Chain A
Amino acid sequence: MSENMGLAPPKSPPILLTREVVNAGFKQQVNELSGQHMDACYQCGNCSSGCPLAQEMDILPNRIIRLVQLGQRDDIINSETIWICASCFQCTVRCPRGIDIQAVMDALRQIALDEGIDHFGPDQISPELAASVPQPGLVGVYRKLAT
């Protein structure tokens, strides 16, 4: 089923779940780095619905958490979402299960940076743009670099 029979790579291959995938350490790594408990998330979607940058993201915040639960490391560290997140804490203060999603985003960026995947630097911002960007946005950018 999952084998590619000489065709173009499948666009939506099934996730092959095993206890190794689920427990391979990615979820645990995120739990440790963020100090959060991924399995507490019950996918209500509150984090996504309140996120001011959700419209710019390729994977919504709640789905990021979901992919961590299922151990889908590659999908996440290659996503734009973790870089677009402004660390504004909106999701964190609203999560009914008390998950600090912002901290999870930090942890995911850290894992991505360790792999040499970087999407952002202050030098990419022109002084004119910097003047127009709201302060929390800039703070967020520097936070990302500090993680």
Chain B
Amino acid sequence: MKRIGVFVCHCGINIAETVDVKRVAEEAMQMEGVTYAQDYIYMCSEPGQALVREKIKEENLDAIIIAACSPTLHESTFRAAAEEAGLNPWQCEIANIREQCSWVHTDREKATRKAINIVGTIVQKTRLNESLEPIPVSITKKALVIGGGIAGIQAALDIADSGYKVILVEKESSIGGHMAQLSETFPTLDCSQCILTPKMVAAGKHPNIELLTYSEIEEVSGYVGNFNVRIRRKAPFVDWSKCNGCGLCMEKCPAKVSSVFDRELTTHGAIYVPFPQAVPNKPVIVKDSCIYFKTGKCRLCEKVCEIGAINFEQEDQFIEEEVGAIITATGFETLPVADLAEYGAGDVPDVIDGLAFERLLSASGPTVGEVRRPSDGMVPKEIVFVQCAGSRDPERYKPYCSKICCMYTTKHALLYKHRVHDGQSYIFYIDIRTGGKGYEEFYHNAEEEEGIIYLRGKVAKIFRDGDKTVVWGTDTLTGRNIEIAADLVVLATAVIPKDSTAELVKKLRIHTGPNGFLSEAHPKLRPVESINSGFFIAGAAQGPRDIPETVAQASAAACKVISLFSRDHLEQDPAIAWVDEDLCGGCRICISVCPYDAREYDEEKGIVIVNEALCEGCGSCVAACACGATQQRNLSDSQIKSMVTASLRGE
């Protein structure tokens, strides 16, 4: 018979206020197999752990139960303590009497009885626990970063600098993401290109980074440390190994395609580079717009390309790679103006979004940094900015705050004032949110020194009247409605996840939240990890965020990858499913229920095996298996039965 010790924690008053911890310890002493029981104010503190270690030895314990908080918090803490005292870590169990008892009850007597019951149930499990050893898993020390915005670039550079190989996959022909489109950046107003392009170049040249632009993820299989990735390299119809980026082809191309990079304020040819500072600086041909692909005639670019880099026969290529960790940094887009019916649904020419305004402000943009409105090129003298366009509107659009637009709108109004001295800008807002270092000061300066008029209220309607764009809003601070006949209106449209992210997460088997942004394992304590091991997340793909936050998060995700790679091998929890090969009939029901794809049919043996590296020990297959062939280690059917019996006896 095992000698079990029970340690009951007060958790300060978190548990002790509602649960009579002394009585729990006394009652535990009466349970079969328990030879020692003791309560203590903070079991996780050093004196608490010392008590556990000391008693394991003194009392000659074979197993221990810590009646305390959730195992997600301190299971590893107490297993380490048990190991230090010479116990097998799987002989340490947690009885959760905080989250599942003291925090959710108020009646002290009933809560105490429930806590005793929980301990009794865990005693039954512990009696039958086996000693286990962690399962070693090898690691491929190469990372995959998906998305080459500032998040992906930063993460790739950090991992590469620490000596590990990185594959950086970007959908577009150049890395850079949205930051490449921005003019100057709040709150310091440094030019976006000037701080971004050196990083783009560094990523392009780094010996440890393999840059795969104009590429997409086709398929991902495997598990932490050992992923297999299939990548599609889309055909650019230009042999990049020959092309020297001279740009002659782009000058001659007669086709007209509106520029996504310039928010459709300009056009480029069917063969193009999105912007002059692109990395790599190599063109691609947009097949759907290319005159040759459409009509069979043209090939002008081919004629002018002196080194013969144009190749109309090129086909998509597929690359197979093995990597140990994957960072998803696929960024964001913004709600289309067309979705905002009351703001003209995109039909009023001088109603543009924030990114378009960035292009108008940008020295390398379509107006070389002069603010001119799209309809007739006039310099606007009355300009209205509308915040929360589609954000914070759970009834019709997005329920969340897009976080960056308060700051960039103030930046826009400020940069406008720097360029059009006699112009007047107005900002409609619901709240101004400036929670960042130097942000409140930036906003106050704009309000106080730049004469920007902030109007507190939502805009109800925007419409065209002659060459004016009329804005109907309100100002709750005066209690009066406001009407402005503006020359240009800029909407701070909601930040939304990149549309292709939904498809990508299915391939990766990671998760998104209700608004489509990538989910983190824990919002506070594991902010850059996905719940599935080996997957990390960074940047605006996880939720709206500005550059400082994006970069910090990207470095954090890189750090997690580096810490993973710094180990010789990984250790997988052995308390997972296993199959009794004699009992398995090969029905494969387990394959259909496993959420982690950990069950595989073994053709030779005619049974279904468990991929130990993928199994998370959720128990779905164990419950589904009709012949009892699949069992979970340390949660066997007999353990569960005796736990149920014990818990029913308790009431």
Contacts and interface: CB of A to CB of B under 8 A. Distances in A.
B62 interface: no
Interface stretch (A62-70, A100-108, A123-131): A62-70
Interface stretch (A9-17, A77-85, A113-121): A9-17
B546 interface: no
A17 B382 CA distance: 10
Interface string B368-391: 000000000000011000000000
B453 A69 contact: yes
B373 to A, nearest CB: 16
Contact of A15 (B381, B424, B444, B480): B480
A125 to B, nearest CB: 33
A6 to B, nearest CB: 20
Interface stretch (A18-26, A49-57, A87-95, A134-142): A18-26
Contacts of B482: 14-15, 17
B295 interface: no
Nearest to B447: A39
Interface string A17-59: 1110011000000000000010110110000000000000000
B483 interface: yes
A18 B481 CA distance: 14
A16 B483 contact: yes
Interface in B450-481: 451, 453, 455-456, 472, 475, 477-481
Contacts of A63: 477-479
Contact of B451 (A16, A39, A42): A39
Nearest to B485: A18
Contact of A12 (B447, B449, B472, B481): B481
B332 interface: no
**Of A23, A37, A42, which is in contact with the most chain B CB atoms at under 10 Å from its CB?**
A42
Given A39-B447, A39-B451, A17 B483 contact: yes
A37 B477 contact: no
Given A22-B424, A23-B424, A39-B447, A15 B481 contact: yes
Interface in B474-499: 475, 477-485
A1 interface: yes
Nearest to A69: B453
A23 B478 CA distance: 18
Given A2-B483, A19-B381, A67 B451 contact: no
B448 interface: yes
Interface residues of A, number: 23
B478 A17 contact: no
A1 B382 contact: no
Contacts of B187: none
Nearest to B432: A42
A67 B456 CA distance: 13
A17 B422 CA distance: 15
Contacts of B444: 40, 42
Q: Which of A2, A19, A42, A67 has the most CB of B within 10 A?
A: A19
Nearest to B452: A39
Given A15-B475, A19-B424, A66-B477, A43 B484 contact: no
Nearest to A14: B481
Contacts of A17: 426, 453, 455, 482-484
B447 A42 contact: yes
B423 interface: yes
A47 to B, nearest CB: 13
B382 A23 contact: no
B480 A43 contact: no
Contact of B453 (A2, A67, A70): A70
B382 A15 contact: no
A37 B445 CA distance: 12
Given A15-B475, A15-B478, A23-B424, A40 B448 contact: yes
Nearest to B478: A66
B453 A22 contact: yes
B425 to A, nearest CB: 9
B485 to A, nearest CB: 7
Contacts of B382: 18-19
B557 to A, nearest CB: 37
B475 to A, nearest CB: 7
A16 B382 CA distance: 12
Given A15-B475, A19-B382, A37 B448 contact: yes
A50 B21 CA distance: 51
Contacts of B475: 15, 66, 70
A66 B478 CA distance: 7
A18 B484 contact: yes
A100 B448 CA distance: 15
A55 B472 CA distance: 32
Contacts of B449: 39
B223 to A, nearest CB: 53
Nearest to B446: A39
B456 A43 contact: yes
Contacts of B453: 17, 22, 69-70
Interface string B222-238: 00000000000000000
Given A1-B483, A39-B447, A42-B444, A67 B478 contact: yes
A39 B456 CA distance: 15
B460 to A, nearest CB: 11
A109 to B, nearest CB: 21
Contact of B423 (A14, A16, A19, A69): A19
B14 to A, nearest CB: 38
A3 to B, nearest CB: 12
Sorted nearest first, the 10 A-B pairs with minimum C-beta distance are A19-B424, A14-B481, A14-B483, A40-B448, A66-B477, A17-B484, A15-B480, A39-B448, A16-B483, A15-B482
19 contacts: A12-B479, A12-B481, A14-B472, A14-B483, A15-B478, A15-B480, A16-B484, A17-B482, A23-B424, A23-B451, A39-B448, A40-B444, A40-B448, A42-B447, A66-B475, A67-B478, A69-B453, A70-B453, A72-B478
Interface of B: 381-382, 422-424, 426, 444, 447-449, 451, 453, 455-456, 472, 475, 477-485
Given A1-B472, A1-B483, A22-B453, 12 more contacts: A13-B480, A14-B480, A14-B483, A15-B475, A15-B483, A17-B483, A17-B484, A23-B451, A39-B451, A40-B447, A66-B477, A66-B478
Interface of A: 1-2, 12-19, 22-23, 37, 39-40, 42-43, 63, 66-67, 69-70, 72
